[in-house]
Structure 1
Amino acid sequence: MKEYWDQAQRLRRRIDRKIHEIRVLRQRAEGMNGSGINDMPRTVSPDRSKMEGTVFRIMALEQEIQETQREYDALLADMEARIKAVDDADCCDLLSKRYLEFKSWNMIAADFGYSVQHIYRLRDKAVQKLRADESS
């Protein structure tokens, strides 16, 4: 489970970084074309090569996001299938909340109405069931 969690977190961070980079590039591009709303004089001839380079970089980042998103979606789909194979409804619910919805243990405990320590015990049981189902 730790490997899955780490991989999912890495993919989510990678997607977020690329989205942030696109935002920054778009802000820079808006400044390049002089279309900002202000009373400052506009540049007569903006640097087209810089603008084109920025646009191509944005397009490349969007493609990378799509590829990373597909990898992330496949990872989640695999985990979802594995979780659904567990025969205990409470275990499925707990595993889904943690590993598909990425809720914190405190949030899961509140959802279930249990203490965090009890949720940890249920998690151990759920992970054992998940592993048992994988080996069958």
Structure 2
Amino acid sequence: MIATSNLLEVIENSELLATYIAQSEIAINYKRTKKALNEDVDAQLLIAQFIQMKEKYEEVQRFGKYHPDFHNVSKEMRELKRKLDLHESIAQFKKAEAGLEQLLNEVSRIIADAVSPHIKVPTGNPFFDNRSCQGGCGVGGSCGCR
């Protein structure tokens, strides 16, 4: 590929866009909550417990309900997951992470639409996406869902 002035301008503008995103309030909040999460000893202990329980859970799931500890491990896993979800710094981090992901998805959609409305942009789980069928249907927009 030969570097043209247009290509260099696109690259420079994309780097500028990345800088703007990194300096946005959403990205700064994400970095702040990630730092707080990494410094939260209780949260780190819960995460470590969850990783250990996850390994145990995956082992039990190999055999399903026939494993002797299936019900106990499944119950412990649900309880630990609930503790994780309700822990303040973990919840704040997940919220900030979702906000940053939404921003990046919206920017991706804007860029793709500027080129063509038929470009598919992965926006995560379409069930939770608040916009209906934004190119995720896999047929290039010919379904008429837009």
TM-score band by shorter chain is: 0.3 to 0.5
Whichever structure has more helix as a proportion of its residues is: 1
Task: Compare relative contact order (CA 8 Å, sep 6+) and give the higher one, 1 or 2.
Answer: 1
TM-score of the superposed pair, with normalisation by structure 2 = 0.32
Structure showing greater Rg? 1
